[in-house]
Amino acid sequence: MSKDENLKEYYSRLIAVERHSPLTAETYCAEIRRFLTWLEDTDLTLERTDSPSLVRYLDLRRTRDGIDARSAAKAVSILRSFFRYVNDKSIRSDNPAVVLELPRRSLHLPEVHSRETVDKLLGMMETGTPRGLRDRALFELIYSAGLRISEASVLNIRDLDFSRELLRVRGKGSKERFVPLGEEAARWLRRYLKEGRPVLAGARPGNALFIGRTGKRLSRKGIWKNYAVLADQAGIGSKIHTLRHSYATELLAGGADLRSVQELLGHADLSTTQIYTHVDVSLLRESHRRYMPKLRGYAGES
């Protein structure tokens, strides 16, 4: 079977058997395409690949491509998944990736913004045009509901329930969850649906909530680009995912329990949510240093 045929079958398995989202499946296949190309370059086959061979491949990814520990750990998981597919195809009966150790991931705290910074950022937006109204509603919603870009881009109008102040979100693995609509986001969404979207849609009403000037659904890339321009204008240079991080951190700082935040964010594993508890502590320390730089202990001081 050719490389392309293997990748096509593997992609189908990721969707149907391992229940991954199309975006995740594409990421997995991109890694395996690199791996299969490396096998060709080194005159290896899937049947002859052993654990030391996989170690050499991962070392190459680190030295040549500069991947960090997190990406290397992801590559190991992908290789394990791929060799499960190889087992199912009866190409071989063992999984040489199982014995690979996952590289230790260093703790990288996500960047977050204060409420004041978010207000400043969103307040800079020009809302006198249909596209401006759309982006204000979009970014308000991403912040107030803690959405991923991929989740925001696939929203449909019917996912909004203004009467119950809820939003239906389709997350990773096609899992659905309901999150509350923030008051400010709901206000801008109503205005966008009344004044902005009809102009953008023209004679093509459609179902997509956020659309571009051609009336088609706004893509993930389009959302990312529009936010990048806004952040640059505000002089903060952050990524759009920072809005989601800020949402989670603000919830915890306000007293929300970790399990509730996990449900609101759509995290499958609680450990993923726990990163925000470290962010909250780091913010407290920064505030302590900023506002009380001369604070000292009482013992022995006059």
What average pLDDT values come out for the chain (302 residues) when binned by 10 residues?
A: 86 91 91 95 92 92 86 91 93 91 66 86 92 96 92 95 93 85 93 96 90 92 92 84 88 83 84 72 55 45 38
Q: What is the pLDDT of residue 113?
A: 85
CA distance 63 to 65: 6
**Is 61 among the residues known to form the active site?**
no
Distances (CA, A) of 167 to 116, 139, 242, 243: 25, 15, 20, 17
Sign of CA pseudo-dihedral 147, 278, 282, 70: negative
Encoded amino acid at 283, one letter: L
What is the pLDDT, as a whole number, of residue 187? Answer: 95
Long-range contacts of 189-196 (CB under 8 A, 24+ apart): 189/137, 189/140, 189/141, 189/160, 189/162, 190/162, 191/133, 191/137, 192/133, 192/134, 192/136, 192/137, 193/157, 195/130, 195/133, 196/129, 196/130, 196/131, 196/132, 196/133, 196/134, 196/137
Q: What does pTM read for this prediction?
A: 0.63
Residue-level pLDDT at 289: 58
Give the pLDDT of residue 288.
47
Q: What is the CATH number of domain 115-288?
A: 1.10.443.10
To the query of whether residue 113 is one of the catalytic residues in this protein, the response is no
Angle of helix 258-265 relative to helix 241-253, nearest 10 degrees?
A: 160
**pLDDT value for 295:** 45
For position 65, what pLDDT does the model report?
Answer: 87
SS3 content of the chain, % helix, strand, coil (to 5): 60, 5, 35
187 is catalytic: no
Q: Cα 275 to the chain's mean position, in Å?
A: 14
Catalytic residue among 34, 89, 170, 172: 172
Half-sphere exposure of residue 221, counting CA atoms within 13 Å on the CB side? 1
Confirm whether 28 is a catalytic residue: no
pLDDT at 108: 61
Is 115 among the residues known to form the active site?
Answer: no
pLDDT score for 235: 85
